Structure 1
Amino acid sequence: MKIAIIVPMEIEAEYYRKYFHSGNKEMFGSTVFEHFCVKGNDIYLGLSGIGKVQAAMNLTSLLSRVEIDLILMTGTAGSLAANVHREDLLLVDAFTYHDAHNTLAGDYVEGQIPGEPAEFKLTSPERNKFAAFLQAEKVPYQEGLVVTGDAFIGSDEQKTIIKQNFPTALAVEMEGAAFAQVAYHFNKPLVAMRAISDNGNDDANSDFDQFAKKVGAKAAKLICAYLEKMN
């Protein structure tokens, strides 16, 4: 299989290099991907960058050139729900945009871009296999909606507005819905795992640096263990 692993930041990518060795660097569009071979699978490790445009552009650059079979997305998110805490793992089952407001333009719901689904649902067999792996390893996780937008959510005011529009959302981040939209149009399975780094409130700025590395390492360890067990 050809598997893409996409993370937003270098501090998250560095943990994968502890498990993968002797990779070659390849340029796709404006993005460098590191190419490794693990258990007979071709692994393409790349940075999405921060935000929706960077994420969509860099994933599209890869998918336009390589027939990727599976996209694995990891990274951090801020909690929106009272029962979602720092360091918790989320296996996302749907993405939408918290900064897309098009209800006045037609028969659309909050978060929906005209011409696109109301939510980008992640329901592939590949995602089910990853969920089964987490369960077999007795790794606790939650499933649900995560919302995406081009802003770091770092105040109670921002968080309150998002929760009003998306009361079932578990977390908020800056790339996932863009990944899901690209994967949807390329008809590629996306497995998205987010680790909670902060509470998305007034404490988020101080929380983020402290927790991003820790939860990034946790996600990388799980992904690498999954790849080792893949048939």
Structure 2
Amino acid sequence: MKIVIGAMEEELNQFVIDLEAQRVEGSLIPEFYQPDLDLTIAWTGVGISNASWGLTYLLTKYQDQKIEWIINVGTACGVNLTLNQNDVILVNHAYYATADATSFGYDYGQIPSMKKYYSAAQTLIKQVQTLILDESIVLGNGATSDIFFVQPQQVCQYLDKLAEPIVVVDMECASFYQVADHFNHPMIALKIISDVLEKTKENSQQFHEFLPKAAMRLSLMLRNFLNIS
């Protein structure tokens, strides 16, 4: 089985339509299945808790099946000002942007007794770079929190404390990576920049205006990765 997972219906519904995936009745989260591809598509809702619960639910539900890979797709805010709306980021390392247990000797961004960060599966990185040929994909680090970043000051307040430069922020990625790591399944996250800090329009306006376009592009990228039209 393969799993494509995200936060919002608006990000993945086009992919569900394009694949003619069928809703899985009785699922505790919105879940769809494409039998020819043995592919599950699901969205969890926004935020760290929803993401971790939703993926844990799926991996527990299908624990007797071989999980080939997990891909998280969705939108994210660009905090590197060289990036633009519609750029594609493959998240290499994912941190928690607001985790601070430094008084106990942990690194900023590290949950106590957990890893400092969670990483994309190297084999999947190579597959993406090989199969999604029509896209210019940037390999960069992401940070996750329950904050929708709208101010440059938030970069100084949170991201500058992390050990590596961060190019995108979102509200789910590190949670998905952490759960996949616990279950020992390979995973990557592909993010389309929906909004960029310090642009003319407010970030929320950038995000809402771009979301339909992002959904179409995400579907195309995934279909290219799966080598289907």
Select which of 192, 196, 201 maps to 1:195: 192
What's the TM-score, normalizing by structure 1? 0.90
Cα displacement (A) at 1:65: 1.5
Closer, same or farther in 2 for the Cα pair 1:149/1:35, shift >3 Å? same
The corresponding residue for 1:104 is 103
Q: Tell me how far apart the structure 2 counterparts of residues 109 and 179 of structure 1 sit (CA, whole Å).
A: 20
Letter in 2 for 1:187: N
Q: Deviations over 1:76-121 (max 9, x none)?
A: 1101112221110001111010010111112x11110011111101
Q: Secondary structure at the match of 1:139?
A: coil
What's the TM-score, normalizing by structure 2? 0.91
Pairing of 1:1-231 with structure 2 (within 5 A): 2-21=1-20, 23-28=22-27, 30-38=28-36, 41-66=37-62, 67=65, 68-106=67-105, 108-134=106-132, 137-166=133-162, 168-201=165-198, 203-228=202-227
Give the number of equivalent residue pairs: 222
Asked whether the equivalents of residues 81 and 196 of structure 2 are also in contact (C-alpha less than 8 Å), the reply is: no
Q: Secondary structure at the match of 1:19?
A: helix
Unpaired runs of at least 5, structure 2 = none
Asked whether the equivalents of residues 79 and 167 of structure 2 are also in contact (C-alpha less than 8 Å), the reply is: yes
Q: Tell me how far apart the structure 2 counterparts of residues 54 and 110 of structure 1 sit (CA, whole Å).
A: 23
Unpaired runs of at least 5, structure 1 = none
Closer, same or farther in 2 for the Cα pair 1:198/1:103, shift >3 Å? same
The percentage of aligned residue pairs carrying the same residue is 25
Letter in 2 for 1:42: D
Asked whether the equivalents of residues 80 and 163 of structure 1 are also in contact (C-alpha less than 8 Å), the reply is: no
Query: CA RMSD for the aligned pairs?
Result: 1.7
Asked whether the equivalents of residues 26 and 32 of structure 1 are also in contact (C-alpha less than 8 Å), the reply is: no
Q: Tell me how far apart the structure 2 counterparts of residues 89 and 156 of structure 1 sit (CA, whole Å).
A: 21
Q: Tell me how far apart the structure 1 counterparts of residues 50 and 126 of structure 2 sit (CA, whole Å).
A: 28
Cα displacement (A) at 1:127: 2.9
Letter in 2 for 1:211: F
Asked whether the equivalents of residues 80 and 171 of structure 1 are also in contact (C-alpha less than 8 Å), the reply is: yes
Closer, same or farther in 2 for the Cα pair 1:36/1:138, shift >3 Å? closer
Cα displacement (A) at 1:22: 5.1
Letter in 1 for 2:73: T
Asked whether the equivalents of residues 24 and 36 of structure 1 are also in contact (C-alpha less than 8 Å), the reply is: no
